[in-house]
Amino acid sequence: MLVLGIETSCDETAAALVTDSRTVLAERVLSQLDDHRPYGGVVPEIAARAHLHHVDRLIAETMAEAGCAFSDLDAVAATGGPGLIGGVIVGVMTGKAIALAADKPFLAINHLEGHALTARLTSGLDFPYLLLLVSGGHCQLLAVEGVGRYCRLGTTIDDAAGEAFDKVAKMAGLGYPGGPALERAAAGGDPTRFALPRPMKGRPDCNFSFSGLKNAVRLLIESLPQPLSAQDAADVSAGFQAAVAEAIADRVTRAAAQFRARWPEGRHLVVSGGVAANTLLRQTLARVGEESGLELLAPPLRLCTDNAAMIAWAGIERFRLGLIDDLDFAPRPRWPLDPTAPAAVGAGVKA
């Protein structure tokens, strides 16, 4: 089985060809960082126009590298949401056009499901498993019972972890994108110099919160001599990163206990999403998994950030089950993995 994946949900334009033997035949990922850097964050209109400008070329290059024609495909998969709606529309319409012209099935993929199933592409693990989905827009803990079957155990009630990383990096003058810049600065910092809160630690639920921590960092930075020295910025970064890792570890520990009780056959903790590339977080989660009786699986770094290989693989998983979409599928700016989960107070659309 051969599926073309298209990803355009935020600020990466990507295409990939993946087989059901878990082989990525070819892929392209074009980052828009230079387009958005002057603004300190992603500008939706700029992102959509960049997707429109580059997506056809990237698909053509991917097909050429693999030596494939559209007639060789078994299906076409494109991110149908959630994401910046302009970009999602570009990818969905491109995928529909190829599917229609080549007379192939079309698969609209939930971007979050792409992240959720990446570990099955890289490791082939069985269901169920506990998933920490941690990115710029989402921070959730889910039991993954099967394709399209997710039980949310916890979610952020305000900011996502990646969003907090970006905003703290901006406050510290570290530039954009904030997550990698903050991790680099933290490598030379003292995480114990400043006392920062560990939000939600000890709470009986599995929810996250990062707005209070972000505000505590803002007040701390304002109390320091301006502009921040390199060492002050490094110490702030290290302290913030340690606080996030410890807070997430507490939440995951609680979720792991619930997961082991409800799904005793589950043996794995999976972390996915852009923030999963953070080294300290991976190290912390490995310890949490060992203490909780779960083996940590983390995708390679290139598959943590947005990519089309995960979309193609999710398409394969859904195609196997006959979950094919009509060409009148409407792109979705919001698309929860567990639509039956009760609303978390304060979470709003991020629930």
275 is in an annotated binding site: no
**Range 19-47 burial, b when 16+ CB lie within 10 A, else e:** beeeebbbbbbbebeeebeeeeebbeebb
Residue 290: inside a domain:
yes
* Residues forming a β-bridge with 149: 146
Q: Where are the beta strands (DSSP E) in the chain?
A: 2-7, 12-19, 24-31, 75-81, 106-110, 129-134, 139-146, 149-155, 268-272, 295-297
In a domain, 155, yes or no: yes
- 54 annotated to bind ligand: no
115 is in an annotated binding site: yes
Asked whether residue 13 falls in the same domain as residue 136, the answer is no
For residue 155, give Cα distances in angstroms to 77, 124, 196.
27, 26, 22
Q: According to the annotation, is 135 in a ligand binding site? A: yes
Q: Indicate the SS3 state at residue 330.
A: coil
- 325 carries a ligand binding annotation: no
309 shares its domain with 291: no
On whether both 69 and 198 belong to a single domain, the answer is: no
Domain count for the chain, please give it: 2
Q: Annotation-wise, does 274 bind a ligand? A: no
Residue 284 sits in the same domain as residue 313 = no
Structure tokens at 77: 């998969």
202 labeled binding residue: no
Q: 274 in a domain, yes or no?
A: yes
343 occurs within a structural domain: no
Q: What is the CATH number of the domain that holds 239?
A: 3.30.420.40
Contacts of 321 (CB under 8 A, 6+ apart): 147, 148
Question: Which strands make up the sheet holding 106-110, listed edge to edge?
Answer: 24-31, 12-19, 2-7, 75-81, 106-110
Asked if 159 and 196 sit in the same domain, the reply is yes
100 plus 205 within the same structural domain: no
Q: Does residue 329 lie in a domain region?
A: no
Q: Is 154 annotated as a binding residue?
A: no
Known binding residue 278? Answer is: yes
| In a domain? residue 348 | no
pLDDT in tens, the chain (351 residues): 999 999 999 999 999 999 999 999 999 999 998 999 898 889 999 999 999 999 999 999 999 999 999 999 999 999 999 999 999 999 999 999 999 999 999 999 999 999 999 999 999 999 999 999 999 888 999 999 999 999 999 999 999 999 999 999 999 999 888 899 999 999 999 999 999 999 999 999 999 999 999 999 999 999 999 999 999 999 999 999 999 999 999 999 999 999 999 999 999 999 999 999 999 999 999 999 999 999 999 999 999 999 999 999 999 999 999 999 999 999 999 999 999 998 877 665 555
Beta bridge partners of 271: 132
Do 289 and 151 fall within a single domain?
yes
In a domain, 333, yes or no: no
Residue 11 counted as an annotated binding residue: no
Shared domain for 191 and 241, answered yes or no, is yes
166 is in an annotated binding site: yes
Burial (CB count within 10 angstroms: exposed 0-12, middle 13-18, buried 19+), residue 273: buried
User: What residues make up the domain containing 246?
Assistant: 128-301
Do 53 and 157 share a domain, yes or no?
Answer: no
Does 306 show up as a binding residue in the annotation?
yes
Residue 243 sits in the same domain as residue 313: no
Q: Which residue has the tokens 């400043």?
A: 194
Q: Per the domain annotation, does 237 fall within a domain?
A: yes
Are residues 30 and 111 located together in one domain of the fold?
yes
> Both 65 and 103 in a single domain?
yes
pLDDT of residue 349: 54
